[in-house]
Every structure is written in structure tokens, then in C-alpha cells.
Amino acid sequence: MNREGLRQIIRAAAAMLGEDTVVIIGSQSILASFREFVLPEDATMSAEADILPFDDDDEEKADKVDGLLGEASHFSEKYGIYADGVSPWTASLPSGWDERLVRIEDPESGAVGLCLNPEDLCVAKVLAGRAKDIRFLTAVFQAGLVDPDAVGRKLITVALRRSEAEVSRRAQGFLDGVARRASYAKGPPAAGEDIARLGEKLTRMRDASVLCGRTNRDGTTCRNDRRTCADHP
């Protein structure tokens, strides 16, 4: 994906959701911080942008994103890129991630995408730990775009389940093995005005991001705090 593709998704998702701003948390959120000609190929290979709708407790908005803009949609067939509607607990994010979101605007519609800060994105990636996540991390670290020490400092602030201690140790072990550089790129500042404008919406999103999110026996979503949930420890 490139920036134009991300803007296309922002434009379409904002119009579909009736919002002037959407939040993007997946790997392609890095396009708000660095232009594609700076990014290594392994950082922009994905054709997908993860859209996190506001106030979507029942995930109906996320399902709508999937249906109209998802992988099998007309949008995907036409443009070769697609959106994935996600929930706040899809990714494990560090404390304060909502205060560091980075802005990208679609000039055609004026719609705004608020994307994860690259360090926060890398925290989510290193905790996920899939092969594609490791390729992404290796690429941005080797390119000097993100400081692994900064990622490590944010890693310890993530709200994890008690059973996920090994996941955290594995993530830190990977970061410890990354070769360090003398300096790293400085990304853009946080989108302060947009974050202030969307204060209550982002606060609700942040609060939801530390919930358990697993499925209860009755089919409902568990909304206990992830760190203390006795039903899904």
C-alpha cells in the first residue's frame, strides 16, 4: 500500500461510517508517519488497513466496514486494497496510545485518519509476534525508522493478562536482540488538535482497549478488565 491507497480507504470508511475522522491501527498506519519511498518493502506489503470505529460496542460498524470495504468487496476488487473493521481489543497497545496518534488527511474529502504512532504500532506487532509482524519489525528497525529501546519502554505499559507474561518476555527478548543504531528517524508530532476535538470518543476507545474482549459462554463479549479477568485469565 502507499499513502494514496491509505487516503482512499480513509475517504471511503469515513463516508460509510458518517464520520469526519477514522482511527487506523494496523501496519499501514505507519504511512501517516513516513512516506512510502522511505519505508522498506516489508513495511508496506499489506493491502489492508485496520479501521477502528468509534463507539462500536456491538461491532456492527466493524462488520459494516468488512462488508463494504473488506477483502471480498467491490472496493477491494476495484482498487486492490481493502479495509478490515476491528475492535479496540484487536491489538495490545501501550498506555497513552490515544494521545500519540498521527494525522493524515485525504485532500479530496477532507476526511482525517488518525494512525498509531510508529513506536505504539511496533509494540502491538512485537506482542503479536507472527511471521509477518517480525518481518515488519525487522524492516523498520534496520531502516532506522523506529528505536527498539523506545518500543521496549512502552511495552511494559501494556495491559496484559496474567497468563501473557511469557508473551511479554518473548517480545522483550526479540527487542533485546535487535542491533542498535546511533540515531533514529524522528516522526511527525501527535495530532494534538484532532485528539482534543475527539477527546471523549478517544477516551472511550482507549478504555475499551484494555477490556478482555474474549467470547463468553453465552456468546457475548467479555468486558472485564483484561489484567484481572477471572473468566479468561
- Is 227 part of any domain? no
Q: How many domains does the chain have?
A: 1
Percent of the chain with pLDDT over 70: 100
- Is 55 part of any domain? yes
Confidence of residue 44 (pLDDT cuts 50, 70, 90): very high
Tens of pLDDT along 139-180?
A: 999 999 999 999 999 999 999 998 999 999 999 999 999 999
- Is 69 part of any domain? yes
CA angle 140, 141, 143 (to 5 degrees): 65
User: Domain containing 42: what range?
Assistant: 3-208
173 contacts 181 by C-beta, under 8 angstroms: no
- Is 58 part of any domain? yes
112 strand-pairing partners:
21, 105
Confidence of residue 92 (pLDDT cuts 50, 70, 90): very high
Residue with cell 475499551: 208
**Cβ atoms within 10 Å of 5's Cβ, excluding its own:** 19
Mean pLDDT for all residues in the chain: 96
What's the whole-number mean pLDDT along residues 209-218? 93
Confidence of residue 187 (pLDDT cuts 50, 70, 90): confident
Reported for 84-87, long-range contacts at CB under 8 A and 24+ positions apart, including other chains, are 84/26, 84/48, 84/49, 84/50, 84/51, 85/51, 85/53, 85/59, 85/61, 86/25, 86/26, 86/50, 86/51, 86/52, 86/62, 87/52, 87/56, 87/59, 87/62, 87/208, 87/213
